[in-house]
Amino acid sequence: MAILGGCLCGKVQYSCTEETGGGHCHCVDCRKTSGTGHGSHMVVPEAAFSLKGTVKFFEKPADSGNLVSRGFCPECGSAIYSTNNGMPGFVFVRVSSLDDPEVFQPQLVVYTDRAASWDKMDPSLPSFATMPSEKDIPQNR
């Protein structure tokens, strides 16, 4: 089953044939680019991601030093997906861009030390004050 999504104006659309997990992030960059208390991202193998339309990118180093490229619709500004040069082969789809956000099943919460007090997360999710090591990240369902 394909997972579909796109931007507000419809000029950018995508399809994912596989996902490997994802979660919520409270880092400053995710908060500012989401316009709210956190960003939610679904991790998708790059080979399972197909894009139609033109996406513009804004690049900025993350706390890790890795370069994060955030893609958005140049027409309506909707955040679509990002890449991280420290995690080649994956795209990080913004859950807010999914046609059906119920397909997303978050598996963790990161940068909880930066979370706004009013942005409450599911307390049953594994939570980390910063970015956990890869061995500590829960695997997909």
Q: What is the pLDDT of residues 18-63, one digit of tens each?
A: 999 999 999 999 999 999 999 999 999 999 999 999 999 999 998 7
pLDDT (0 to 100) of residue 130: 85
**CATH number of the domain residue 103 falls in:** 3.90.1590.10
Domain assignment present for residue 7? The answer is yes
CA atoms within 13 A on the CB side of 51: 18
Give residue-wise pLDDT tens across range 97-139. 999 999 999 999 999 999 999 999 999 999 999 887 766 666 5
Residue 138: its pLDDT value, please?
A: 62
Residue 4: C-alpha distances to residues 33, 36, 37, 47, 48 (Å):
21, 23, 24, 15, 12
Instruction: Answer yes or no: is 60 within a domain.
Output: yes
The answer to whether the CB of 50 falls within 8 A of the CB of 15 is yes
On whether residue 136 sits in a domain, the answer given is no
Q: Which domain holds residue 112?
A: 3-131
Number of domains present in the structure of the chain: 1
The pLDDT, as a whole number, for residue 6 is: 98
Give a yes or no: residue 140 inside a domain. Answer: no
138 in any annotated domain = no
Indicate the length of the chain as a whole number: 141
How far apart CA 94 and CA 98 sit, in angstroms, is 7
Residue 40 domain-assigned? yes
Start-end of H helices in the chain = 28-34
In a domain, 110, yes or no: yes
- Report yes or no on 35 lying in a domain: yes
* Distance (Å, whole) CA 32 – CA 46: 25
**d(Cα 105, Cα 21) in Å, to the nearest integer?**
7
